[in-house]
């Protein structure tokens, strides 16, 4: 505190404070510095109209992007243990949670909803980096599991949009255990023959990356997204070298065979729709049915192995 | 030469004095010191027992990382006959940070694998301090596949600070390798037992720790991230590792309370490193007991039970 703050009355200092109105009107692209009118930026799904930089998208905008006409229903998620470690670092964990809930309007980092995507029913889970770095704690893990349960019950595809720094330290080992828990959920989908599609957005790292985010049937990444296991800072500190340009970016993962495609946000829905329709044996959006319908197998036949391999 | 930890300083002094006295008596047999030595030894034993009875979390972290603590190699030497190590992931390379193979354990054929940290500078470098790369986890998957194919129980010993953060590992899909290993470990249709023998660090540990039965040694730790890494994330300073370890309840006792592990195996007084043979034998007994308990269960039942066990973690039990 500067001495003047103690002497000058607060009301007077308010006059000298910067007004924050310009922040609400303009967005400055973090990549190219272009000033974009805020409303235009939101309408463009937070993609810079100048350089195509994909900024982080909040949950509601993402759900609105994927579901037809913004029609979707959000699922409730089972309650989980509340602060089992009684954790406190610089602040108490429950206080942090409260702030993040107020900031994002969401109970935790993962929101699960269902609704139509180009007319095909899907379950979508969205992880929001704005909520404690999208960290995977018990509530987020439970939401991922819940999404799988709903997809199983409805026999529909499960699309997961990942964004996370990794496990939630404040929940200790129980946060680490969300990796196997979510993995079990993915296994159940796999056994039921339901598609599990993962969209990797900026950033997806750590325990999320080392579990369900890398177990999709198909991996789609958003351009330029940071995707990896260890964060770049940790790697730099370990090997004491500067990391190469483009390291751990979406395009790097494509080149190294870890993702199937890098898709521009504006084409994401169309791409997902196409994949989901083919995998679910549905006609194309134009009504075309280009494949032979799947033969119906009776329960008795299903148990016997094929006579010829 | 015994390595003393920082909190064992009083003990080191006492035991040093005993050695000194013994040396003196050796030089000059006319001096009778047996009474004195006996008294000091009793005092040292008491001190050791008192120190280890009430270890703080951070002291346990140090014990878990003690250089003389029995490692994977020691367990194999003492417990497994006809051990044949297998190498390579059949895709890129061999990773000596995770050792594994097959052999006979107390009359049973088993597949055994685990992290090896190494015991001197040269072997530590060779095993990369027990920090595995993707190849290690892909080899683990290969071994799990074999365990299932040949119907062999699977034993996994965990001792790692975490998976290795490096450029090559990222290029070859460290995250994917860990995810697949966890996935396979959960789905393997054979009895599996995991023992955290030292340090269980993060995803690098989970990858081979999602077993039917999970045991921790009394002074081992199991963490979401190493205390140093957690401190640098939460406090922006790795000096706070002690606080991070304590706040995150990383001890076997903490984990048993949270329902994450099934059992704690007591260590000899003064820690596993003081009575290595005894410790290894007791770990063997526990593994044998757990495998025996799962005998007769079919593969599907084992997988179902394992899945339910993990899904139940952290859930509120409805009355």
Query: A165 φ, ψ to 5°?
Result: -80, -15
Report the C-alpha gap between B161 and B64 in whole angstroms: 11
**Which range of residues forms the domain containing residue A94?**
56-280
Q: What tokens appear for A146 in the block?
A: 């819940």
Confidence of residue B35 (pLDDT cuts 50, 70, 90): confident
Is residue A18 in some structural domain? no
Q: Are strands A261-262 and B221-223 parallel, antiparallel or unpaired?
A: unpaired
Closest of A233, A243, A206 to residue B168, by C-alpha: A243
The mean of the pLDDT values for chain B is 94
The top-scoring range by mean pLDDT among A27-31, A159-163, B24-28 is A159-163
Closest of A126, A123, A128, A127 to residue A148, by C-alpha: A123
DSSP 8-state secondary structure symbol assigned to residue A132:
G
Is residue A223 in some structural domain? yes
- Reply yes or no: is the peptide bond before residue A203 cis, omega within 30 of 0: yes
Same domain membership, residue B293 and residue B257: yes
Is residue A94 in some structural domain? yes
Q: What tokens appear for B40 in the block?
A: 């000091």
Same domain membership, residue A190 and residue A126: yes
Q: What is the pLDDT of residue A2?
A: 58
Same domain membership, residue A111 and residue A36: no
Same domain membership, residue A110 and residue A35: no
Same domain membership, residue B216 and residue B99: yes
- Examine the pLDDT at B230 and tell me if it is beyond 90: no
Q: Which tens digit of pLDDT belongs to each residue from B294-314?
A: 999 999 999 999 999 999 998
Same domain membership, residue A189 and residue A50: no
Q: Which tens digit of pLDDT belongs to each residue from B191-215?
A: 999 999 999 999 999 999 999 999 9
Q: What is the pLDDT of residue A198?
A: 98
Q: B271: helix, coil or strand?
A: coil
- Examine the pLDDT at A180 and tell me if it is beyond 90: yes
Q: What is the pLDDT of residue A54?
A: 97
CA B285 to centroid of chain Cα atoms:
16
- Check A85 against B206: CB less than 8 A apart: no
The residue of chain B with its CA nearest to that of A87 is B247
Closest of A247, A197, A192, A202 to residue A223, by C-alpha: A202
Report the C-alpha gap between A104 and A107 in whole angstroms: 8
- Examine the pLDDT at A4 and tell me if it is beyond 60: no
Same domain membership, residue A39 and residue A121: no
Listed in sequence order, the residues at least 6 apart from A203 whose beta carbon sits closer than 8 Å to its beta carbon are A129, A163, A164, A165, A225, A226, A227
Is residue A118 in some structural domain? yes
Report the C-alpha gap between A140 and A142 in whole angstroms: 5
Closest of B133, B143, B120 to residue B94, by C-alpha: B133
The mean of the pLDDT values for chain A is 89
Same domain membership, residue A73 and residue A48: no
Same domain membership, residue B70 and residue B44: no
A-proximal residues of B, 201-220, CB under 8 Å: 202-203, 206-207, 210
- Check B222 against A173: CB less than 8 A apart: yes
Q: Which tens digit of pLDDT belongs to each residue from A77-115?
A: 999 998 999 998 888 999 999 999 999 999 999 999 999
- Greatest pairwise CA separation for chain A in angstroms: 91
- Residue B312 touches chain A, beta carbons under 8 Å: no
Question: Bridge partners of B266?
Answer: none
B314 versus A287: the higher-pLDDT residue is B314
Q: What tokens appear for A300 in the block?
A: 């008795």
pTM: 0.91
- Examine the pLDDT at B262 and tell me if it is beyond 80: yes
- Examine the pLDDT at A8 and tell me if it is beyond 80: no
State the smallest CA–CA distance between residue B151 and chain A in angstroms. 21
Same domain membership, residue B18 and residue B145: no
% of chain B at pLDDT higher than 70: 99
- Check B174 against A229: CB less than 8 A apart: yes
A-proximal residues of B, 143-172, CB under 8 Å: 163-167, 169-172
Closest of B259, B258, B277, B256 to residue B267, by C-alpha: B277
Same domain membership, residue B226 and residue B131: yes
Q: For residue B94, what is the domain's CATH number?
A: 3.90.226.10
Is residue A109 in some structural domain? yes
B-proximal residues of A, 195-224, CB under 8 Å: 205-207, 209-215
Same domain membership, residue B140 and residue B18: no
**Which range of residues forms the domain containing residue B35?**
6-54
Is residue B319 in some structural domain? no
Is residue A45 in some structural domain? yes
- Domains of chain A: total: 2
Same domain membership, residue B18 and residue B153: no
E strand or H helix that includes residue A116: strand A110-117
Q: Count of residues for chain A?
A: 309
Question: What separation in angstroms does the CA of A141 have from each of A126, B52, B250?
Answer: 12, 37, 20
Residue whose token pair is 């395009």: A251
Same domain membership, residue A144 and residue A64: yes
Question: Bridge partners of B237?
Answer: none
Same domain membership, residue B170 and residue B85: yes
Q: Are B191 and B302 in contact (CB under 8 A)?
A: yes
Same domain membership, residue A256 and residue A139: yes
Same domain membership, residue A182 and residue A105: yes
- Residue A190 touches chain B, beta carbons under 8 Å: no
E strand or H helix that includes residue B213: strand B213-217
Q: How far apart are the first and last CA of chain A?
A: 79
Which residues of chain A lie closer than 8 angstroms to B163, CB-CB?
A: 210, 229-230
Is residue B93 in some structural domain? yes
Q: Which tens digit of pLDDT belongs to each residue from A129-138?
A: 999 999 999 9
Complete edge-to-edge strand list for the sheet that includes strand A120-127: A73-74, A110-117, A120-127, A158-164, A196-204, A218-221, A261-262
Same domain membership, residue B131 and residue B77: yes
CA B242 to centroid of chain Cα atoms:
20
Report the C-alpha gap between B160 and B100 in whole angstroms: 15
Q: What is the pLDDT of residue A22?
A: 52
Same domain membership, residue B190 and residue B148: yes
Same domain membership, residue B141 and residue B18: no
- Check A244 against B166: CB less than 8 A apart: no
Q: Are A144 and A110 in contact (CB under 8 A)?
A: yes
Q: Which of A40, A55, A70 delimits the end of a domain? A: A55
Given A169, A214, A247, which is nearest B176 (Cβ)?
Answer: A214
Is residue A1 in some structural domain? no
Q: CA neighbours within 13 Å on the CB side: how many for A169?
A: 26
Closest of A129, A265, A147 to residue A206, by C-alpha: A129
Q: What is the pLDDT of residue B49?
A: 92
Same domain membership, residue A162 and residue A123: yes
- Residue B222 touches chain A, beta carbons under 8 Å: yes
- Residue B134 touches chain A, beta carbons under 8 Å: no
Same domain membership, residue A177 and residue A30: no
Q: For residue A158, what is the domain's CATH number?
A: 3.90.226.10
- Residue B311 touches chain A, beta carbons under 8 Å: yes
- Domains of chain B: total: 2
Same domain membership, residue A45 and residue A162: no
Is residue B1 in some structural domain? no
């Amino acid at each position: 505190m500067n001495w003047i703050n103690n002497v000058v009355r607060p009301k007077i200092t308010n006059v000298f404070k910067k007004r924050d109105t310009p922040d609400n009107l303009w967005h400055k692209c973090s990549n190219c510095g272009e000033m974009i009118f805020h409303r235009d930026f939101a309408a463009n799904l937070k993609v810079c109209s100048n350089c195509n930089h994909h900024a982080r998208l909040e949950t509601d905008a993402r759900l609105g992007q994927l579901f037809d006409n913004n029609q979707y229903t959000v699922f409730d998620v089972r309650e989980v243990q509340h602060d089992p470690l009684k954790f406190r670092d610089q602040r108490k964990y429950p206080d942090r949670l409260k702030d993040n809930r107020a900031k994002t309007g969401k109970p935790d980092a993962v929101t699960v909803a269902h609704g139509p995507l180009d007319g095909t029913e899907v379950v979508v889970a969205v992880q929001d980096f704005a909520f404690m770095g999208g960290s995977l704690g018990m509530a987020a893990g439970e939401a991922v599991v819940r999404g799988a349960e709903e997809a199983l019950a409805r026999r529909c595809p499960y699309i997961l949009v990942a964004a996370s720094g990794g496990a939630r330290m404040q929940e200790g080992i129980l946060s680490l255990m969300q990796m196997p828990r979510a993995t079990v959920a993915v296994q159940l989908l796999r056994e039921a023959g339901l598609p599990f599609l993962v969209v990797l957005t900026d950033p997806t790292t750590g325990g999320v990356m080392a579990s369900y985010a890398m177990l999709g049937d198909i991996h789609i990444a958003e351009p330029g997204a940071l995707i990896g296991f260890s964060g770049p800072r940790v790697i730099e500190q370990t090997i004491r070298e500067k990391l190469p340009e483009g390291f751990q970016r979406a395009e790097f993962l494509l080149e190294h065979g870890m993702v199937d495609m890098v898709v521009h946000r504006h084409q994401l829905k169309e791409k997902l729709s196409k994949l989901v329709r083919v995998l679910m044996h549905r006609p194309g959006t134009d009504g075309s049915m280009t494949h032979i319908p799947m033969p119906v197998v009776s329960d008795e036949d299903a148990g016997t192995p094929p006579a010829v391999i | 030469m015994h390595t003393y930890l920082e909190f064992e300083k009083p003990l080191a002094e006492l035991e040093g004095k005993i050695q000194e006295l013994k040396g003196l008596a050796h030089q000059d047999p006319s001096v009778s010191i047996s009474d004195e030595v006996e008294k000091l030894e009793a005092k040292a034993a008491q001190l050791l027992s008192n120190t280890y009875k009430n270890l703080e979390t951070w002291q346990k972290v140090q014990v878990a990382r003690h250089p003389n603590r029995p490692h994977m190699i020691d367990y194999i030497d003492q417990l497994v006959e006809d051990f044949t190590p297998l190498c390579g992931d059949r895709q890129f390379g061999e990773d000596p940070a995770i050792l594994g193979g097959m052999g006979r354990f107390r009359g049973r054929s088993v597949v055994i694998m685990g992290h090896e940290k190494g015991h001197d500078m040269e072997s530590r470098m060779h095993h990369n301090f027990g920090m595995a790369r993707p190849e290690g986890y892909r080899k683990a998957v290969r071994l799990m596949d074999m365990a299932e194919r040949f119907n062999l129980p699977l034993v996994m010993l965990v001792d790692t600070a975490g998976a290795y953060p490096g450029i090559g590992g990222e290029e070859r899909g460290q995250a994917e390798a860990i995810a697949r290993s966890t996935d396979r470990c959960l789905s393997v249709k054979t009895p599996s037992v995991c023992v955290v023998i030292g340090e269980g660090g993060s995803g690098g540990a989970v990858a081979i720790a999602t077993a039917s039965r999970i045991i921790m040694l009394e002074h081992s730790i199991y963490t979401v991230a190493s205390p140093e890494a957690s401190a640098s994330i939460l406090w922006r300073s790795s000096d706070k590792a002690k606080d991070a370890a304590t706040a995150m309840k990383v001890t076997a006792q903490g984990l048993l309370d949270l329902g994450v592990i099934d059992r704690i195996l007591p260590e000899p007084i003064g820690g596993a490193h003081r009575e290595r043979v005894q410790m290894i034998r007791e770990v063997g007994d526990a593994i044998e007991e757990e495998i025996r308990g799962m005998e007769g269960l079919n593969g599907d039942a084992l997988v179902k039970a394992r899945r339910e066990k993990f899904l139940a973690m952290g859930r509120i039990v409805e009355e």
